Structure 1
Amino acid sequence: MAIIKYAARQTLGQLIGANNPPVEVPDDSQRQYAWGKLEVDTYWADIQKFMRARRTGSEASAEYFIGPIVTITDDKVTSRSLLDGQQRLTTSTILIAAIRDTLGSMSSTEARVMANNIQRDYIARKDGRHSLPQYFLTLSLFDRDFFKNFIQDWNEATGKVAHTEIPSRPSHKLIKAAYSLFEGHISSALSSIHSDDERIDWLEELRDCLVKGLVFVEVQTPTSSDANEVFETINSRGKDLSTVDLVRNFLMEKSRHDEEKDRVNNAWRSLLDGFERREDIEKFLRHFWVAGHGDVRSHSLYTTIRKELTERFEKDLPRYEVRMFAAELQNASGRYIELITSGTGFEKLDCLLDEVRTLGADAAYPLLLAISTRSNHSEVARVAEALLSYYVRWTVVGRRESTLLEEKLFDLAKRVSSNLSISDAFQQIVDWTPDDAAFQSDFEQAPIPRSTQARYLLTTIEQYLRQREGVDDVVVAGASSVHVEHIYPQSPEAVYRLTDHASWMNRLGNQTLLHGRKNRMASNKAYPEKIHAYESSSFLITRETGIGRLWDADNGGWRPQGIDERQADLAKIAVDVWPIGSRDTGELSL
């Protein structure tokens, strides 16, 4: 059970004020800044609501409880290490800085003095002109320097912050974005206030709401182990604090010396610098674990990792250490980034990975990650071909249970990590893939309402047709000017509307490709008004797959049987485009 030394009410001004011990986010715990526009705007709206309520003077509206924070404190409480509450304290400091900067930009001497006082009382202070500043909130190593440069290092003479650091991590960009949002909100609020005195009064009121009105409960603990247990409980085992952060904190807790902690931090630097979005790090961690251990749901991932790694770390033999897991995680992250960005440098594989990403076939990544650990790019590409055919035949066109496919692929990834041969894994995918007769029958009837899937199917068929006919290769799948066109329109004129309109509209036989300008011209028109756009198109799937069958020229209306006929013809082609196993007919360059 965790030991709690002390728990007490603290205002924001007491937590990060000049007369209190500074708060530091330790390097061996916590996450980077993670609040986006939704959280920042919600925070601002809450503060504005609190300001309005506070003006009533009622005792019930005097304070706004913003939640608990967890700190590690020494016996004399000369410093506080922050284990939980970083997002709220960081965001509050950013808003205080935006108030400071707004006051500092005003011509009033009073406003400039207030700005300097805000800096000294709640952000940072210096004992002398040439002394280093003491920061009241210090972030962990991932965000520390950028936060100081962009938010905290205020120049009293110029009334500005240096802003020389370039945001190099997603968290840096979020800090910058949060500041810009607050700056905009403040500017918007002041636009309806016409005198400088009234603006200063409003800014002073906003400051007081923050530093005197926001209330926390600070839970002080004696050790990091106690603090970890407390904040895991507060965050409901990862509900609010992300799995990635919990795993890092756990690894730091299990590290036996500074060298291991440095190894964990190095691994986390790679994750933060390698992935564009935090969501991708979360997805990688799950897929990394699945690749070695089999399926685990996101909500139980941290609990599973903690339990299994604790058992491994505590075994005497074979010895497994934190640094080993950190190294495995870092090495796998590099390969995973290559997979999700199509950046292996092997053209055939990268084209196939483009298809995986286009389809959103995330279930393929654990298996591809497991195979990439042991195989060359050519072998990975061969498996990727089989995976794509399996995914298209089973899920996209066959509309069979996708969770069953995921379970099978995740188990196969675990078996590959346990030394199942790549050829056996390939054969297993082949055995699972619906046969040609089933696929052709499914394709003939399939509606494809998702535009991304329809675009993928149509562009892949187009590329196949161009290669079969020896037509000069063109970029199709990645071209932003290429659009999916509904031949029988999504919004037809009433006189041309078919019975069972919805069931015909999204059939693949009713969809084709057009370039953007032609697509706009053809939109929602009857066939005679857009036949020229089809006949002059550069796409073979539009010119040569019998679109004319969809129009009954004799009766002047749409012919639904033509949708069936065209889709049946496309189904015959699709059997060759997505063959079982490898694409023996040649590479598809998308």
Structure 2
Amino acid sequence: MAIIKQAARQNLGQLIGANNPVVTVPDDSQRQYSWTKKEVDVYWDDIEKFKEGKDSGKESASEYFIGPVVTITAEKVSGRALLDGQQRLTTSTILLAVIRDILWQTNAPEAKLSANNIQRDYIARKSGRKDPMEYFLVLSLFDRDFFRDYIQKWSEITGECARMEAATRPSHNLIKDAYANLYAKVKARLQFFADDEDRLDYLDALRECLIYGLVFVEIQTPTSSDANEVFETINSRGKDLSTVDLVRNFLMEKSRGDDEKERVNNAWRSLLDDFDRREDIEKFLRHFWVSKHGDVKSHSLYITIRRDLTAHFDRRPQTYGVGAFSAELEKAAARYAELISQNTGNSEFDASLSEIKALSADALYPLLLSASEGAAYDDMQGLIDAAISYYVRWTVVGTRESTLLEENLFGVAKELSRGGPLSGAVKRVVGWIPDDEAFFTGFREASIPKQAQSRYLLAKIEKSLRDDAGIHEEVVLGSGKVHVENIYPLNPEAGYRLEDHDAWVNRLGNLTLLTGRRNATVSSRPFPEKDHVYGASALLVSSRTQVDSLWDGGTSKWRTDGIVERQERLARIALNVWPSKLGE
């Protein structure tokens, strides 16, 4: 049971500011800034609604409760270590900086004085000319320098921050985006006022709402373990904290000494540097665990990791500790980043990885991650080919239950991570691929509403047609130059709509690829008005797969039999594109 020293109501001005203990996000316990435009927009909307209610004089709108914060506070309160609430306090500081900067830009002496006061009272100040700057909110090592340079280290002479520190992590760009977003919102609001006096009144009222109106409940705890317990309890009931953050806090809690804590920090630096998006870090963590331990769902991932690792870390003598786990995590992250970015250095393997991305076939990554621990990418081509054929035949075309496919692949990944042979893994995956009869039947009747999947299937068929024709020019997907075309239109003109429209419009026999920008007006017209587009196309899937069989020139009607005939033709090609008898 966690010890709580006290839970006290605190407004923003009592949490951060010149007369309060500095709030520090500890390096060993907290995440980087992660609010996207979505969260910042919600925050701003709440502030605006609160300000409107407050301006109306409603007693019920005198304060806005924004949530709890969890701190570690020693007996003698000289500083606060912040365990929960970083996103809200950081964004509030950014909004104060926006108000400061806009006030300075008005050039009125009164406004500049107010800007200086905001900076000195709630963001940062120097006690003396030669004293170091004191920052009232200190972020963790991942964001500290950038946040200071971009938001806090402000000159009272120029009214600007130096902003010399380059944005090197996703969180840095989010800080920049949050500032730009809030700056634009405040500037847009000021346009409603006729003169500078009214604009200054608005900015002063907005400042007052933030400083005195935003209310938190500060939960003070004496130790990091108490804070972590409160922290996890709060976040288990909401989505404020991610699994990645919880795992890092847990590892810090279980670290034996500064060396292990530094090992964790090094691993997390690698995670932040290896991945462009936070979602990729979240995905990696699950896939890393799945690759070694088998399937676990996202919602129970942290509980599972904590339970299993605690059993290892608490053993006496300890044979597997925080340092070993962090090292594994860091090495796997580098390989995973190569897989999802298609940057392994092997062009054939990278092309196959691009197919996985096009299909959004994330279930294949744990298998490849496990294999890459003990095998070179050159030797993994057979495995990735088998996995893609399995995924396409089972899930995309066969539309069978994906749970069984995942269980199978995750089980093989676990075996590989424990030293199983690569050849055995390939053999097992090949054994699960649906046979030609089942695949042909499924493909002949498949309807693919997801454009990413239909584009992938048609592009692979296009490549097969080009190989047969001796044409080696590659079709570039994802560049905006190639789009999926519904031959029988999604929105046909009056008089040309099929009776069972929805059953036919996304059938593979009705889909093709065209280059150039999609022209919705032309696409919706009867076939004779766009026939020339298909016949003249450089893409063989449009010019050489009997697209004209979909139209009956005698009756001027669309032919569903033509869709069936063309789709059967495509199905025969598909048998060789995604083979079942790999390696034979």
Specify the code of the residue in structure 2 equivalent to 1:541. Answer: V
Q: Where in structure 2 are the equivalents of 1:205-244 lying within 5 Å?
A: 205-236=205-236, 239-244=239-244
CA offsets 1:376-413 (integer angstroms, 9 cap, x no match): 11222210100110000001111111122112211221
Contact 1:463–1:476 (Cα < 8 Å) also in 2: no
Question: How many Å apart are 1:55 and its aligned residue?
Answer: 2.0
2: CA distance, partners of 1:243 / 1:215: 27
1:265 maps to what in 2? 265
2: CA distance, partners of 1:97 / 1:521: 49
Contact 1:69–1:216 (Cα < 8 Å) also in 2: yes
Q: Where in structure 2 are the equivalents of 1:49-128 lying within 5 Å?
A: 49-128=49-128
How does the TM-score come out when normalised to structure 2? 0.98
2:455 maps to what in 1? 455
Distance 1:536 1:308, change over 3 A: same
SS at match of 2:537: coil
Question: How many Å apart are 1:199 and its aligned residue?
Answer: 1.2
Question: How many Å apart are 1:517 and its aligned residue?
Answer: 4.9
1:330 maps to what in 2? 330
Number of matched residues?
584
CA offsets 1:131-175 (integer angstroms, 9 cap, x no match): 211111000000000000100011001111111112111111111
1: CA distance, partners of 2:437 / 2:333: 40
Identity of aligned residues (%): 59
CA offsets 1:413-437 (integer angstroms, 9 cap, x no match): 1122122221111111111110001
1:497 maps to what in 2? 497
1: CA distance, partners of 2:77 / 2:318: 42
Distance 1:496 1:114, change over 3 A: same
CA offsets 1:534-579 (integer angstroms, 9 cap, x no match): 1111111111111121111222221111111111111111000000
Q: Where in structure 2 are the equivalents of 1:111-510 lying within 5 Å?
A: 111-236=111-236, 239-317=239-317, 319-510=319-510
Question: How many Å apart are 1:361 and its aligned residue?
Answer: 0.2
The answer on 1:575 being equivalent to 2:538 is no
Q: Which region of structure 1 is more displaced relative to structure 2, 110-119 or 53-62? A: 53-62
Q: Which region of structure 1 is more displaced relative to structure 2, 351-360 or 165-174? A: 165-174
Contact 2:34–2:171 (Cα < 8 Å) also in 1: yes
1:535 maps to what in 2? 535
Distance 1:58 1:492, change over 3 A: closer
Contact 2:339–2:353 (Cα < 8 Å) also in 1: yes
2: CA distance, partners of 1:389 / 1:173: 39
1: CA distance, partners of 2:521 / 2:147: 51
Question: How many Å apart are 1:237 and its aligned residue?
Answer: 6.7
2: CA distance, partners of 1:461 / 1:583: 21
Q: Which region of structure 1 is more displaced relative to structure 2, 315-324 or 295-304? A: 315-324
2: CA distance, partners of 1:502 / 1:322: 55
1: CA distance, partners of 2:471 / 2:60: 76
1: CA distance, partners of 2:315 / 2:438: 51
Unaligned regions of 5+ residues in structure 1, if any?
Answer: 585-590
Distance 1:27 1:150, change over 3 A: same
Specify the code of the residue in structure 2 equivalent to 1:388. Answer: I
Contact 2:28–2:249 (Cα < 8 Å) also in 1: yes
1: CA distance, partners of 2:412 / 2:474: 36
The answer on 1:31 being equivalent to 2:31 is yes
1: CA distance, partners of 2:367 / 2:91: 39
Question: How many Å apart are 1:31 and its aligned residue?
Answer: 0.6
Question: How many Å apart are 1:472 and its aligned residue?
Answer: 2.9
Specify the code of the residue in structure 2 equivalent to 1:545. Answer: T
Q: Which region of structure 1 is more displaced relative to structure 2, 542-551 or 265-274? A: 542-551
Contact 1:522–1:533 (Cα < 8 Å) also in 2: no
Distance 1:55 1:237, change over 3 A: closer
1: CA distance, partners of 2:237 / 2:62: 32
How does the TM-score come out when normalised to structure 1? 0.97
SS at match of 1:495: coil
The answer on 1:40 being equivalent to 2:40 is yes
Specify the code of the residue in structure 2 equivalent to 1:500. Answer: D
Contact 2:17–2:121 (Cα < 8 Å) also in 1: yes
Contact 2:480–2:517 (Cα < 8 Å) also in 1: no
State the superposition RMSD in angstroms.
Answer: 1.4
Specify the code of the residue in structure 2 equivalent to 1:339. Answer: L
Q: Which region of structure 1 is more displaced relative to structure 2, 414-423 or 263-272? A: 414-423
2: CA distance, partners of 1:318 / 1:93: 44
Contact 2:71–2:220 (Cα < 8 Å) also in 1: yes
Contact 2:371–2:416 (Cα < 8 Å) also in 1: yes
2: CA distance, partners of 1:66 / 1:476: 48
2: CA distance, partners of 1:318 / 1:138: 35
Question: How many Å apart are 1:357 and its aligned residue?
Answer: 0.4
Contact 2:483–2:517 (Cα < 8 Å) also in 1: no
Contact 2:72–2:220 (Cα < 8 Å) also in 1: yes
Specify the code of the residue in structure 1 equivalent to 2:123. Answer: I
